[in-house]
Structure 1
């Protein structure tokens, strides 16, 4: 394993994991947290703060606990079984293969355009008049492709960590700058539901940081060089630190929404453009420097989601293709192991690079044309079902004989994952209802 780690540029501790969890080993959790929190998530948090002040702070904290449990479960599966998550899904039946194939095809096509556009918005605002938004988006997509194509996990993790540092500094600075009311913030930790807040509450708990990248966490754990249960304590520390960091992002944006927007009655546009609205408000209130700093943080938030998906979902797709070739849709008993991912060859494989190309070039057509109506419907339906699919299949896998008895779910894990599954089903129904049928 030490040789494998050295070849792939992943974790190298002389062949033996540390005796205790150490801060210096943290990495995959930061990657999954940064990828999962996009510009749209921050807008949703800002809007919740602008409408309800600090009242829903408890929901943001609860959401972080849900994500900790989901990511921990995905990482625990990889380390406890030595198998990848897709291999576990495949053991539940061929339906999982069909679902995953449809999901990554449609979701990747539409998400690619969304991620490129989100990354382009702050660049156009920082450099007005240089290029049209569409061409900034194309540049971001190609830059993400080139970066992931030529770098393995070790470099990818370092760049993601640097960008998270930028996000952290900017969000904390903004939260301090608006001078939050700490008394009201503490009161917001009490679970209450103001009138008309149910959907916002569910969105805060289930939406922020909740994407397919939670499923990619186990792959990044393996890519780091962690492939067996001796790394379990390290993985759990890594995961908790990551989502505490996410919690700080979310709480900081809620503070900004509560103080800057709630009191003044300013309304933000939905989606990524809402952050541009916030940039204008910040410039009016605190000057150009603060507004520019915010746009830099906005770009860091968006580009981490882009390159994180470019790497993590491509890694999952490469595993899917390899597994499909070896076993087929309906037969075979071979397993795909974490050590295969740790070897680093997946990041240079044809399926990995093919999915990178799929995420980058076909979606560019959506940048120049209105999104086809039917595609939006299919994307919304398939995407809405992924988080309940992840939560409930993890409950299934981690309570079965597929997982060694020592590492199966306890009552607390089952309770949190089961509640998460129900929550995501409710959000799924709501999202499908809101689609432009």
Structure 2
């Protein structure tokens, strides 16, 4: 690509003026940061810090670079082609449709219960004499549903900005409160693999901030009104903000794990309940105010992830359903029709659609049954298998799409993007195999 003197990029079709990157446009990245790091991610990072101190800090940094590459590729596909990611997947064959259909139904069913429970845990700790865990979980699910149902992207983004602000300030405050050892932290930037740390290392690189919401990023970009390649520089700045923020969360939680738990050999409960354990440790060490602040941050983390999934994955599902319906009516869709579907996302029409609201209901009400049935064993196994396969599916299909004629030549992958996406695909495949091996068959 050749830069023109007019501030644009010269292509085979003339000059495309790229808008100047500005902080005033940042938004979808904030939504990604608020959604992509859930309570489970914080626990995984916390436990890595508690077991290995600062030694794996370098892995957390590399993980953020990997996620920047994946989200940039997702956003670039939407902007360069004027098509949604699901349309790209459809072009690779029918198998992608079958996979996504099975995945999004089972994943949504189990994730709904997980997100509601995770949001309820800190509320139970904050209000021990209040409603039960299940009652709080149901309330969180209904509140998330109502908020997404009655609001559009602009309001959603503003609320998620408040959520990310709460998470950021509280987690960083606690990290400063435990007095980090800056010398050891700097040493942790040098790659090293202590005995028994390989899986934790791979998990830090591949796991934190890496969910189906990475695929939703392109839809949030379109919802913001960014619908063509002129927004490329803006999107890239927005994406970097997202994962630099995520990186600060990860580093802060590793500091907390290293200083508060590693030095005192305190073990945490696995899963989201580990954060409740940490709240008790903080109360013993620093008092009830700090502990309660952390629990509020825990709630912001969990409920922010819930709202983000309720909105972003519902957009993806609506695109999935409406595209199939259109293809049945008009087998060979024209570029104008595809651009019209992207415009619907940008105009907020997709958020009012029947498929969008149907998936919202699916995420909210059927999973409430799992809160009382303790999640049937077979369903949990199926969820684990499908979930393990999504991230390599995303990385490798993006690698395919962005190196093919489906993407205009000027906006295809360069060497760095190819190396990062190929590396991410390999990493996620290894994590996938390990997760499947660890399932209780």
Instruction: State the TM-score bracket (shorter-chain normalisation).
Output: over 0.9
What is the aligned length? 422
Structure 2 residue aligned with 1:336: 338
Structure 2 residue aligned with 1:145: 145
Distance in 2 separating the partners of 1:132 and 1:31: 30
Cα gap change, 1:349 to 1:189, in 2 (>3 Å) = same
Q: TM (normalized to structure 2)?
A: 0.94
| Residue 361 of structure 1 pairs with residue 365 of structure 2 | yes
| Residue 348 of structure 1 pairs with residue 352 of structure 2 | yes
Deviation at 1:27, TM superposition (A): 0.4
Structure 2 residue aligned with 1:7: none
Cα gap change, 1:393 to 1:133, in 2 (>3 Å) = same
Unaligned 5+ runs, structure 1 = 1-15
Deviation per CA, 1:131-173, whole angstroms, max 9, x where unpaired? Answer: 0100000000000000000000000000000010000000110
Matches within 5 A, 1:98-113: 98-113=98-113
Distance in 1 separating the partners of 2:118 and 2:129: 18
Tell me if structure 2 keeps the 8 A contact 1:17–1:231.
no
| Residue 382 of structure 1 pairs with residue 381 of structure 2 | no
Unaligned 5+ runs, structure 2 = 1-15
Structure 1 residue aligned with 2:439: 435
Deviation per CA, 1:232-284, whole angstroms, max 9, x where unpaired? Answer: 00000000011000000000000000000000000011110000000000000
Distance in 2 separating the partners of 1:300 and 1:329: 43
Distance in 2 separating the partners of 1:346 and 1:297: 31
Deviation at 1:328, TM superposition (A): 4.3
Cα gap change, 1:179 to 1:329, in 2 (>3 Å) = farther
Deviation per CA, 1:331-363, whole angstroms, max 9, x where unpaired? Answer: 533463322210211000000000000000000
Runs of 4+ in 1 over 3 A off after TM superposition: 16-19, 328-337
Deviation at 1:55, TM superposition (A): 0.2
Distance in 1 separating the partners of 2:331 and 2:390: 24
| Residue 157 of structure 1 pairs with residue 157 of structure 2 | yes
Tell me if structure 2 keeps the 8 A contact 1:42–1:250.
yes
Tell me if structure 1 keeps the 8 A contact 2:310–2:360.
yes
Distance in 1 separating the partners of 2:180 and 2:329: 54
Tell me if structure 1 keeps the 8 A contact 2:38–2:301.
yes
RMSD: 1.4
Tell me if structure 1 keeps the 8 A contact 2:167–2:297.
yes
Selected match of 2:408 from 404, 410, 428 = 404
Structure 1 residue aligned with 2:54: 54
Matches within 5 A, 1:205-244: 205-244=205-244
Distance in 1 separating the partners of 2:33 and 2:343: 23
Structure 2 residue aligned with 1:195: 195
